[in-house]
Chains A and B, each alone.
Chain A
C-alpha cells in the first residue's frame, strides 16, 4: 500500500513537471551567492543572477526582489551557462536520408523525438542546447535543427530553438563515397567526386534560381507569358545556402578535403561554414581561422576508420591558439552527458585557460550555431540557460546539480527519479537493451546500403 502511494506520488510529480514545462517554458529565478563563470566576463565570486521571464535581467551582489521568485542558494557552487553541443543526433527518430548524394530538402525538424530519454541525461550533464544533425551519408545532407532540451514536453516543436538560424549538414570523405560510390555505384566514388557533387549542386541551384527569376518577371509582363518551372526544394535550399541564409556544418577529417571545401565556398561566396570533427584541422588552422566560422572537434577520439588516423588530442588547443572559433562536440548520446570533461582535456593537452576551455562548450558552439547573441554566456539580456555545479566544472570531481532552460528547472539532482521515461510501451515492462550500441551515430539508417555494399565487396567473382 505504501509502495503504491509512493509510486503514484512520482506519477503526479511528473505530470506536474510535464505540465509546467509545456505551459510555462519561461520562468523567474534568483540564484544567490554563486561563483559565476560568465565565460565572457571572467569569474564573478559571490554573485547573484536574476532571471525574469526566462531572460537574465541582473547580475550583481545582494539582489533582492519583491514577491515570490524561486530562489536558489548557490553558496560555494559554480554557475555556468548551459553547455551547447554543436554536433549531436540526440532526440531524432531518423538520422540519415541516405538515398541520394544530395538531400538538402529534408528537415530534421520533421523527425524530432521528444520522448528520447537521452535528452534528460544530457540535462543531467548540464547540456541545454544541442544541434540535432542529419547524418553523414550524403555529400549534402539535410537541414539540421537546434534544440533546447525542454524535456517533459510531448510536442517536438517545444524542443525547437525557434530563434536559431537555419543550418545544414555537409559530409566529405569516406562516408558519402562508401554509401553512394561503392554502395550504389553513383557519384561520389572518391573525394574528387564529393567536390563535383557539391559543385554540381551549387551550379544547378544557380540555374534554378535564374529560371524562377525569369518566370517571376514573365508574370508581370503579359507579353512574355511563360509556364512555371518545376519546384524543387532541394535546389531551393542550395540557393538559400548560396545567399548566406544557412550555416553549413560539414563532417570532415582530412586537411586536403577541408581546404577543398574552403576553396569551393570562397568561389561561391559562402562564408557561413563550420567544420565538424576536423581531425586534421590543426594542419589548416590559419585557413580555418580566416575563412570559416570555426571547427567543432572531439577532444581525443580517432582511429575508428582509415581517414581518422592522423589525429591529435592537441587539435582543439592548436585551433584555439590559431584564432579558430573552436568547439568540442559529442556526436554521441553518451559523451553529451560530460562535455565538461571533454573540455577539461584541453587543459591536459594544450594547457588552455579555464575561460578558453569552457568557451569550447559554451560561447564558441553558440557562435557556430549563430545563437551567441542568445545563449552561451551569462550576460544580462541573454536567455537563462544555466547549470549549477558543486565544484569547478573543469574538475573531474564536479557534478552538475541543477540545470535550467529559460529559467525553468529541468534537472535537479535532489529530485532525480530513476525512471525518467515520458512514454511507456503498454506491452513491455523493460525496453530491450542491446549490448552493442552505436556510439557514433553519423551513419545510422544506412544499413540497407551496406548490405548491398558488403555483397559487392566480398562476393566478387574475379
Chain B
C-alpha cells in the first residue's frame, strides 16, 4: 500500500503560478482608459545636459503634445504624479538581435560544390529583411523595455557576411504594429557560413568587392535596358538588387566589428566603395579616433565590457614578470572601461549596442564607463540623441520635445546614480508601470522545477517559494496520489539562503500522512540534495530555478 502510494505520489505534473500578482499597476499597458496622459510637476531632462524642474509633460496618442510649467491639460488626460520622478527620453538600442530567428536556408544539393555555393548557402542574403524573422512579442524585448529601451534597431540573423536588412522597431504595446522602418540599413559582418566560398575574411573582402562592382553593373544594365529593350534582358538578381541602395548612398552599410582590425577593414571598404558607413560592436580602437572622425563613420560601442578578473590578484609574490603582465592586463581592462570616455573626448558621437550584454549588467556597465571618464551627459546622449542621429530618426526620437514620439523613461532618481530605478516606461504613448518594484518580485518569489529519483521512478513537480516579511512560505506540487490531477501541499519550516534550501511538507494519502523533508545545496540556478520521506528513506533530488516565475 505504501509503496503504491509512493509511486503515485512522485508521478509527473506541472503547475501554473497565479498570473496577475498586482491588481493596481498596469504592467502590460493593456487596460488603459485613455491615450492622453500628463506627468505632473516633474523633473524633465529633455536632452543631455539640460534639467527642468516643476514641469508638466503632456502626451497623447503616442506624441508629446506639450512641455512646460503652465500648459493646458485636457479633461481626459490621466495624471501620472511626477513630483519624485526624473523623466528622460526613451533609450535607443542599436544593432540588437533579440527576438530574431535564423532564416531558413536551402539545403545543400547532393553534388554540392562548395567553391560555387548558392548565395544563401554562403550566408549572402542581403535581400532578406529582419522583420520577416522577428518575433514581435518576444519576452526579451519586454525585459529591455523595463530598463528604459523604447526603440531598437533589429539586425537579421544569419551565419555569413550579408544576413540582410535591419529594421527599426518600437518596444510599444503588443496590440500594435511596432515597425518604424523596414529597410533601415544593410548589415555586414566579417563571418562566413563555413565550409563554402567565402570561408575566411580573405574571401569575404574579395567577395564584397565583386558584389559591389557587379551591383553597379547590374544597375547600369537595368538603366540601359530601360532605354533600349532590344538589349539582352536583365535577369533578376535579388542579391545585387539589394546592394544598389548602398553604393547609391541611399542606405548605410552597418558593419559589425569584433576588434580594431575589423574597424580598419570596415574603413578600407568604405574608402574603396564610398558608402555611408556605421560600425557597430566597437570594443577597442581609441587610436582610430582621428580616422573615424575624418571618415564620418557612424559609431556604435558595445555595452558589453570584459570581465574584471585581475582586480584581486592571487596572493603572494609572483616575481617581476608576473607582476608586469598583471599590470598590463589591468591597464587593458581600464582601457576598455575608458573607451567610451575617449570617444566622447574626441567628439566622435556614438550609440550603444546591447548585443552580448546580460541585462543585469546594463546600468552597472554604464556606471563603470561613467566612473572611467564618460560624462553622464555623454552616456545619456549615447542612449538617446546620438543613436537617433545615426539612425536618422532625430525628428521623432532622442529628446523630449513637442511633436516627438512619447518614448520616455521615468526614473526614481537621476539616471546613473546607484539607487536610481526605472519606475515607468512610456513607449509609443503606452505607459508601462514598474513602480510596484517588480525587480523585488524576483527575489520574493522563486519557483523550482524538481525531479526526484525514488523506487517508484522519476517524480517531477514544482516548489513555489514566496517571501513575505523575511519569512518564506509556499507550496509543493505533485500528482494526486489518489487519483488524477494536481495536488499541492504547503511548505513548512523553509530555510532559504544563497547556497542552501531546506523545507518540509506533508502529503495526505487517505488517512495516512507522509512527512517529507527536502534539503540540499544551491549553486546558481541548480539545486542538488536529498528528499527524506519519514519511514521510507532518502532519495536524491535535483531542481532548477525557473527564469521568469512571474510570466
Q: Which residues of A contact B (CB under 8 A)?
A: 3-4, 6-7, 10-11, 93-94, 96-101, 103, 105-108, 110-111, 113, 134, 142, 154-157, 180, 184, 186, 225-234, 418-419, 421, 423-430, 445, 448-449
- B327 at interface (Cβ–Cβ under 8 A)? yes
Q: Taking CB as reference atom, which chain A residue is nearest B284?
A: A423
- Contacting residues, chain A, for B325 (C-beta < 8 A): 419, 429-430
- Contacting residues, chain B, for A184 (C-beta < 8 A): 113-115
Interface window among B208-216, B354-362, B392-400: B208-216
Which of B220, B323, B328 is within 8 Å of A424, CB to CB?
Answer: B328
Q: How far is the CB of B330 from chain A (nearest CB, A)?
A: 8
Q: Taking CB as reference atom, which chain A residue is nearest B283?
A: A426
* Main SS at interface, chain A: loop
CA distance A184 to B197 in the complex (A): 13
Q: Taking CB as reference atom, which chain B residue is nearest A114?
A: B261
- B264 at interface (Cβ–Cβ under 8 A)? yes
Which of A6, A101, A180, A424 is within 8 Å of B329, CB to CB?
Answer: A424
B203 touches A99 (CB 8 A): yes
B321 touches A226 (CB 8 A): no
Q: List 29 A-B contacts (CB under 8 A).
A: A3-B323, A99-B197, A99-B203, A105-B210, A106-B203, A106-B205, A108-B202, A110-B202, A110-B265, A156-B264, A180-B115, A184-B114, A184-B115, A225-B224, A227-B225, A228-B217, A230-B217, A231-B214, A231-B217, A233-B206, A233-B213, A419-B321, A423-B332, A426-B332, A427-B307, A427-B309, A429-B325, A448-B199, A449-B195
11 further A-B pairs in the complex, CB-CB below 8 A; given A7-B327, A227-B221, A230-B217: A7-B324, A10-B324, A97-B202, A97-B206, A105-B209, A186-B113, A418-B324, A419-B321, A426-B333, A427-B329, A429-B309
- Contacting residues, chain B, for A154 (C-beta < 8 A): 260, 287
A107 touches B205 (CB 8 A): yes
A99 touches B114 (CB 8 A): yes
CA distance A449 to B306 in the complex (A): 33
Q: In B164-196, which residues have CB < 8 Å from any A CB?
A: 194-196
A425 touches B196 (CB 8 A): no
- B228 at interface (Cβ–Cβ under 8 A)? yes
Q: Taking CB as reference atom, which chain A residue is nearest B220?
A: A228
Q: How far is the CB of B222 from chain A (nearest CB, A)?
A: 10
CA distance A93 to B199 in the complex (A): 13
Q: A142-B202, A228-B220 are in contact. Are A421 and B210 (CB under 8 A)?
A: no
- Contacting residues, chain A, for B234 (C-beta < 8 A): 227
Chain B CB within 10 A, most for which of A97, A100, A154, A448: A97
B203 touches A103 (CB 8 A): yes
- B342 at interface (Cβ–Cβ under 8 A)? no
B200 touches A445 (CB 8 A): yes
- Contacting residues, chain B, for A424 (C-beta < 8 A): 328-329, 331-332
CA distance A422 to B39 in the complex (A): 53
Chain B CB within 10 A, most for which of A6, A99, A156, A225: A99
B209 touches A233 (CB 8 A): yes
- Contacting residues, chain B, for A3 (C-beta < 8 A): 320, 323
- Contacting residues, chain A, for B195 (C-beta < 8 A): 99, 448-449
Q: How far is the CB of B96 from chain A (nearest CB, A)?
A: 24
Q: How far is the CB of A165 from chain B (nearest CB, A)?
A: 20
- B241 at interface (Cβ–Cβ under 8 A)? no
Q: How far is the CB of B200 from chain A (nearest CB, A)?
A: 4
A97 touches B200 (CB 8 A): yes
Q: Taking CB as reference atom, which chain B residue is nearest A100?
A: B115
CA distance A7 to B320 in the complex (A): 9
B210 touches A232 (CB 8 A): yes
- Contacting residues, chain A, for B196 (C-beta < 8 A): 99
Q: Taking CB as reference atom, which chain A residue is nearest B259?
A: A423
- B310 at interface (Cβ–Cβ under 8 A)? yes
- B198 at interface (Cβ–Cβ under 8 A)? yes
A107 touches B220 (CB 8 A): no
- B336 at interface (Cβ–Cβ under 8 A)? yes
B210 touches A231 (CB 8 A): yes
B306 touches A426 (CB 8 A): yes
Q: Taking CB as reference atom, which chain B residue is nearest A104?
A: B206
Q: How far is the CB of B225 from chain A (nearest CB, A)?
A: 7
- Contacting residues, chain A, for B217 (C-beta < 8 A): 228-231
Q: In B259-280, which residues have CB < 8 Å from any A CB?
A: 260-261, 264-265, 268
A99 touches B201 (CB 8 A): no
B199 touches A101 (CB 8 A): no
Chain B CB within 10 A, most for which of A99, A426, A428: A426
Which of B220, B232, B324, B332 is within 8 Å of A425, CB to CB?
Answer: B332
Interface bits B297-330 vs A (CB < 8 Å: 1, else 0): 0000000001101100000000011111111110
- B72 at interface (Cβ–Cβ under 8 A)? no
Q: How far is the CB of A209 from chain B (nearest CB, A)?
A: 16
CA distance A94 to B206 in the complex (A): 13
Q: In B47-91, which residues have CB < 8 Å from any A CB?
A: none
- Contacting residues, chain B, for A113 (C-beta < 8 A): 261
Which of B202, B324, B335 is within 8 Å of A107, CB to CB?
Answer: B202
A94 touches B201 (CB 8 A): yes
Which of A7, A106, A421, A428 is within 8 Å of B206, CB to CB?
Answer: A106
CA distance A423 to B286 in the complex (A): 12
Q: Taking CB as reference atom, which chain B residue is nearest A113?
A: B261
Which of A6, A98, A110, A426 is within 8 Å of B205, CB to CB?
Answer: A110
- B3 at interface (Cβ–Cβ under 8 A)? no
A419 touches B115 (CB 8 A): no
- B231 at interface (Cβ–Cβ under 8 A)? yes
B329 touches A425 (CB 8 A): yes
B203 touches A97 (CB 8 A): yes
B199 touches A426 (CB 8 A): no
Chain A CB within 10 A, most for which of B199, B220, B224: B199
- Contacting residues, chain A, for B232 (C-beta < 8 A): 227
- Contacting residues, chain B, for A11 (C-beta < 8 A): 331
Q: How far is the CB of A112 from chain B (nearest CB, A)?
A: 8
B201 touches A228 (CB 8 A): no
- Contacting residues, chain B, for A103 (C-beta < 8 A): 197, 202-203, 206
- Contacting residues, chain A, for B194 (C-beta < 8 A): 448
Q: How far is the CB of A218 from chain B (nearest CB, A)?
A: 11
